[in-house]
């Protein structure tokens, strides 16, 4: 088979400010929301001082034990035009510390005559810690002026002490262990201190209320610390008065395994010998493998239980064997020859039977820490995870599993597939964590192979969490009751089981990704593989909320390309202070009439767990510059903003988040679009890539300065070609 992927070298030039008009309105210049205040700066200043004085009176009633080092945490509501919690400085006092942010929504205020009124408006909640004795000083600073005060007042909405009831998230009413129920506490941390503050104070405060803190199961990620506790549900409002608590929720459970169904014996043979290549480094984290199975030893290079002294959890080994089978062979046929694996795999048993009273429901963070240890160091390039906490995505909350896997994917350069979830027919069908990540690939399920497929009824749906609104990323066959996904099952001889679920679609997509690497060669980067899968994915007439970017064809089809298309791949790294120009491939000179230019752009970004509003710390912006706009004029080349923001909603922010928020599209790590031009206008057109970093001055400079890898796939196809 011929590899028809052609790599091209992009032009890197200095990014001179003001050399062209931006494709999207810059921060603070976009149209204000309906929260636009009609108050004067003096009135806003007076309101702010009054609210701080009310906070001074309220903190008097807080228990001293709930305020370690006399700190209280305030929530500062800002307009959504502020793109991050530190878009400007409010470091006005030594004790004032910014802890993070989250998106929020409030009812519209009364507006001036003639202005449109909306039911709800998006805002930003910025968390900040301050010592009680400095509250009066804060009011004085606001009264007398401070750096950036004008900008602060222009974006200010309200400031208040966090009410305890706001800390109680997703809490049910039932009690499986009355008086000893399990909860997860998220604590704010200072970035420059150890976790002992405020952990020591929290443990003492919680234990005085009758809670047992499982300190040994705590999990740290950036500026948040997750601590599991047991205790009486009725005491949670008192516990929530501890000022450094970000949220309290039920301790999430890991997904349980279900037994295999319809196990049957088959007379076909599995491949023997060697896989197509031994170069790709692949890992699967799941429920383990049975002691005996029919897979050739050359296809599974290593099997490691996380805890060798524990036994397998019920159904875990069967599930792990099925997931491994889906990666190695894809859906098993009824009689035809089984496909040869592209590469071998290492299998890690992530969950086991350690479910006693003290550890049940707390394995989630032990398992995550083990994944982090295994994947740190760059040993693996391709990873599948089909077991995770049973938690749906929330807009104002980033789960620890999401941010850790996002960070690992970025730091180590890993293609990670995540089962999107089987909650599609439940009351909350939204994609499950960690599939809401920006650097991972969440996988949904199609109900059949071949044509006329749809989203499998059980498969989770989008949207994801901003800025990764297009979720699931991709879908492949996952099986249904009518047409199951057959995998290997334990038993005498060669046994298969009829399965359904995104647990099997995810490793099947990983097989596609590894196949691209094997067929395309080492030159294909992880990001290029992701870009190619998305670029050639087809929605099949389904909606973006159901299938994301769509269902990709086989690796062989992608590598060969579409007859009549011209394709170029640009991959490299973007450094601060430079822009990158990638030319559109020029078709043969005899090509006439309309042609369709398609582009798919992918990159990975460092992330901030504690700051969902500014979750992606670095953004790469990309614009399409038509040939007629490429010639520099007084204002520079004009981009075509509609290229990645098409009306059919295939772009982040397009029909998914209500208004098409330019900031969402800007921060999205995947962008794909198309534009039709005349064949004669292709020459001279190009894509321009620019790097934008978060303005948070507390970000570590080495994270901002690190080069950001990217990949851009461009194809030019005759518009009226036969399909």
Same domain (yes/no): 294, 401: yes
The residue ranking higher by pLDDT, 624 or 637, is 624
The residue ranking higher by pLDDT, 373 or 27, is 373
Q: What spatial distance separates the first Cα and last Cα of the chain, rounded to whole Å?
A: 21
**pLDDT band at residue 177 using 50, 70 and 90 as cut-offs:** low
Q: What is the pLDDT of residue 520?
A: 95
Residue 282 has pLDDT above 60, yes or no: yes
Q: What is the pLDDT of residue 144?
A: 82
Mean pLDDT of 680-690: 91
Mean pLDDT of 135-139: 89
Q: What is the pLDDT of residue 101?
A: 84
Lowest mean pLDDT among 242-246, 490-494, 522-526: 490-494
**% of the chain surpassing 90 pLDDT:** 50
On whether the CB atoms of residues 649 and 440 are closer than 8 A, the answer is no
Same domain (yes/no): 299, 363: yes
Among candidate residues 301, 318, 331, 319, the one with its CA nearest the CA of residue 508: 331
Residue 25 has pLDDT above 50, yes or no: no
Burial code of 602-641, b = ≥16 C-beta within 10 A, e = fewer?
bbbbbbbbbbbbbbbbbbbbbbbbbbebbeeeeebbbbbe
On whether the CB atoms of residues 590 and 716 are closer than 8 A, the answer is no
- The residue behind tokens 């030159």 is 523
2 occurs within a structural domain: no
Same domain (yes/no): 615, 546: no
Mean pLDDT of 361-366: 73
Q: What mean pLDDT is reported for the chain? A: 84
Same domain (yes/no): 371, 293: yes
Which residue range is the domain that position 108 belongs to? Answer: 41-162
Same domain (yes/no): 538, 588: no
Same domain (yes/no): 477, 520: yes
On whether the CB atoms of residues 157 and 78 are closer than 8 A, the answer is yes
Among candidate residues 208, 252, 207, 205, the one with its CA nearest the CA of residue 226: 252
Lowest mean pLDDT among 208-217, 219-228, 271-280: 219-228
Q: Is 76 left (phi over 0), alpha (psi -120 to 50) or beta?
A: beta
**pLDDT band at residue 356 using 50, 70 and 90 as cut-offs:** very low
Q: How far is CA 465 from the centre of its chain?
A: 7
Same domain (yes/no): 67, 187: no
Residue 85 has pLDDT above 80, yes or no: no
Please give the tally of structural domains in the chain. Answer: 4
Same domain (yes/no): 292, 215: no
Nearest-angstrom CA–CA distance, 266 and 555: 27
685 occurs within a structural domain: yes
Mean pLDDT of 449-472: 93
β-strands 11-14, 71-79: how paired?
unpaired
Q: What is the CATH number of the domain that holds 412?
A: 3.40.50.200
Burial of 193 (0-12, 13-18, 19+ CB in 10 A): exposed
Give the CB-side neighbour count of residue 651, counting CA atoms within 13 A: 26
Q: What is the pLDDT of residue 90?
A: 66
Same domain (yes/no): 229, 293: no
Q: What is the pLDDT of residue 56?
A: 94
Residue 656 has pLDDT above 60, yes or no: no
**Strand runs labelled E in 58-155:** 71-79, 97-107, 120-131
β-strands 345-349, 300-305: how paired?
parallel
Q: 3-class SS at 526?
A: helix
Q: What is the pLDDT of residue 620?
A: 92
Residues 6+ apart with CB under 8 A from 707: 573, 574, 575
- Paired tokens of 75: 């929530």
Same domain (yes/no): 661, 675: yes
Burial code of 380-391, b = ≥16 C-beta within 10 A, e = fewer?
bbbbbbbbbbbb
Residue 337 has pLDDT above 60, yes or no: yes
Q: Is 536 left (phi over 0), alpha (psi -120 to 50) or beta?
A: alpha
Q: What is the pLDDT of residue 318?
A: 94
256 occurs within a structural domain: no
Q: What is the CATH number of the domain that holds 580?
A: 2.60.120.380
**pLDDT band at residue 326 using 50, 70 and 90 as cut-offs:** very high
The residue ranking higher by pLDDT, 54 or 694, is 54
Q: What is the pLDDT of residue 162?
A: 85
Same domain (yes/no): 512, 586: no
439 occurs within a structural domain: yes
Give the CB-side neighbour count of residue 362, counting CA atoms within 13 A: 23
578 occurs within a structural domain: yes
Dihedral of the CA atoms 642, 602, 84, 692 (nearest 10)?
-80
4 occurs within a structural domain: no
User: What is the DSSP secondary structure assignment for residue 93, as one 8-state letter?
Assistant: S
Same domain (yes/no): 554, 567: no
On whether the CB atoms of residues 621 and 689 are closer than 8 A, the answer is yes
629 occurs within a structural domain: yes
Distances 338 to 27, 264, 341, 487, 551 between C-alpha atoms, Å = 54, 16, 9, 11, 22
**pLDDT band at residue 705 using 50, 70 and 90 as cut-offs:** low
Q: What is the pLDDT of residue 456?
A: 97
The residue ranking higher by pLDDT, 510 or 608, is 510
Instruction: State which of 559, 582, 613 marks the end of a domain.
Output: 559
Among candidate residues 395, 397, 460, 454, the one with its CA nearest the CA of residue 427: 460
β-strands 261-265, 495-499: how paired?
antiparallel
174 occurs within a structural domain: no
Instruction: Determine phi and psi for 682, rounding to 5 degrees.
Output: -75, -45
User: How many residues would you count in the chain?
Assistant: 723
- 432-447 pLDDT, tens digit each: 999 999 999 999 999 9
Mean pLDDT of 604-633: 82
Q: What is the pLDDT of residue 685?
A: 92
Instruction: State which of 203, 226, 250 marks the end of a domain.
Output: 250
Residue 215 has pLDDT above 70, yes or no: yes
Give the CB-side neighbour count of residue 223, counting CA atoms within 13 A: 25
Q: What is the pLDDT of residue 13?
A: 78
- 572-614 pLDDT, tens digit each: 999 888 899 999 998 876 778 899 999 999 999 999 888 887 7
- Paired tokens of 631: 């010639």
Q: What is the pLDDT of residue 274?
A: 95
Q: What is the pLDDT of residue 204?
A: 97
Instruction: State which of 537, 559, 581 marks the end of a domain.
Output: 559
On whether the CB atoms of residues 396 and 428 are closer than 8 A, the answer is no
The residue ranking higher by pLDDT, 319 or 143, is 319
Q: 3-class SS at 584?
A: coil
């Amino acid at each position: 088979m011929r590899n028809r992927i052609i790599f091209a070298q992009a032009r890197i030039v200095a990014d001179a400010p003001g050399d062209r008009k931006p494709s999207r309105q810059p921060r603070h210049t976009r149209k204000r929301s309906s929260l636009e205040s009609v108050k004067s700066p003096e009135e806003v200043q007076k309101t702010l001082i009054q609210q701080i004085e009310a906070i001074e009176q309220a903190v008097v009633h807080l228990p001293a034990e709930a305020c370690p080092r006399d700190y209280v945490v305030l929530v500062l509501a800002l307009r959504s035009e502020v793109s991050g919690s530190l878009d400007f400085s409010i470091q006005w006092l030594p004790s004032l510390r910014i802890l993070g942010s989250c998106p929020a929504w409030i009812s519209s205020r009364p507006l001036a005559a003639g202005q449109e009124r909306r039911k709800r408006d998006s805002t930003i909640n910025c968390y900040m810690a301050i010592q009680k004795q400095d509250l009066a000083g804060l009011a004085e600073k606001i009264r007398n002026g401070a750096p950036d005060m004008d900008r602060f007042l222009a974006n200010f909405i309200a400031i208040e002490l966090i009410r305890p009831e706001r800390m109680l998230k997703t809490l049910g009413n039932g009690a499986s262990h009355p008086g000893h129920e399990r909860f997860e506490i998220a604590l704010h941390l200072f970035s420059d201190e150890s976790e002992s503050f405020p952990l020591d104070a929290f443990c003492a405060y919680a234990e005085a209320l009758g809670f047992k803190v499982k300190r040994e199961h705590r999990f740290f990620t950036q500026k948040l610390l997750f601590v599991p506790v047991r205790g009486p549900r009725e005491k949670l409002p008192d516990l929530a008065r501890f000022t450094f608590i970000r949220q309290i929720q039920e301790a999430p459970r890991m997904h349980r395994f279900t037994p295999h169904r319809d196990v049957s014996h088959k007379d076909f043979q599995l491949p023997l010998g060697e896989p197509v290549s031994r170069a790709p480094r692949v890992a699967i984290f799941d429920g383990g493998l049975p002691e005996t199975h029919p897979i050739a030893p050359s296809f599974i290079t290593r099997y490691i239980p996380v805890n060798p002294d524990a036994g397998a959890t019920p159904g875990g080994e069967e599930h792990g064997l099925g997931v491994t089978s889906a990666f190695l062979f894809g859906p098993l046929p009824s009689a035809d020859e089984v496909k040869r694996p592209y590469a071998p795999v290492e299998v890690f048993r992530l969950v086991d039977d350690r479910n006693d009273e003290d550890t049940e429901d707390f394995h989630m963070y032990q398992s995550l820490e083990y994944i982090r240890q295994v994947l740190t160091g760059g040993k693996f390039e391709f990873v599948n995870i089909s077991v995770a906490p049973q938690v749906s995505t929330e807009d104002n909350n980033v789960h620890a599993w999401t941010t850790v896997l996002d960070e690992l994917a970025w730091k180590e350069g890993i293609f990670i597939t995540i089962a999107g979830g089987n909650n599609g027919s439940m009351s909350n069908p939204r994609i499950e964590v960690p599939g809401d990540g920006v650097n991972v690939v969440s996988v949904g399920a199609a109900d059949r192979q071949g044509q006329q497929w749809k989203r499998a009824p059980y498969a989770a749906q989008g949207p994801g969490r901003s800025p990764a609104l297009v979720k699931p990323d991709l879908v492949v066959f996952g099986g249904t009751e009518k047409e199951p996904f057959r995998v290997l099952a334990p038993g005498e001889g060669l046994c298969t089981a009829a399965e359904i679920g995104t647990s099997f679609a995810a490793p099947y997509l990983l097989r596609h990704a590894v196949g691209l690497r094997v067929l395309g060669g080492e030159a294909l980067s992880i990001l290029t593989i992701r870009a190619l899968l998305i670029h050639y994915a087809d929605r099949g007439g389904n909606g973006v909320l159901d299938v994301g970017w769509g269902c990709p064809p086989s690796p062989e089809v992608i590598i060969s390309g579409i007859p009549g298309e011209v394709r170029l791949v640009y991959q490299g790294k973007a450094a601060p202070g430079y822009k990158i120009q990638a030319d559109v491939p020029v078709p043969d000179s005899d090509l006439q009439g309309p042609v369709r230019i398609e582009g798919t752009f992918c990159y990975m970004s460092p992330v901030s767990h504690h700051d969902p509003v500014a979750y992606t710390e670095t953004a790469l912006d990309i614009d399409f510059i038509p040939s007629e706009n490429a010639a520099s004029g007084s204002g520079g080349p004009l981009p075509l903003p509609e290229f990645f923001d098409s009306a059919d909603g295939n772009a982040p922010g397009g029909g998914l988040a209500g208004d098409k928020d330019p900031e969402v599209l800007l921060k999205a790590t995947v962008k794909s679009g198309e534009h039709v031009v005349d064949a004669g206008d292709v020459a001279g057109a190009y894509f321009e890539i620019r790097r934008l970093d978060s303005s948070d001055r507390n970000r570590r400079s080495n994270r901002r300065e690190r080069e950001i890898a990217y990949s851009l796939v461009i194809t030019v196809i005759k518009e009226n070609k036969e399909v």
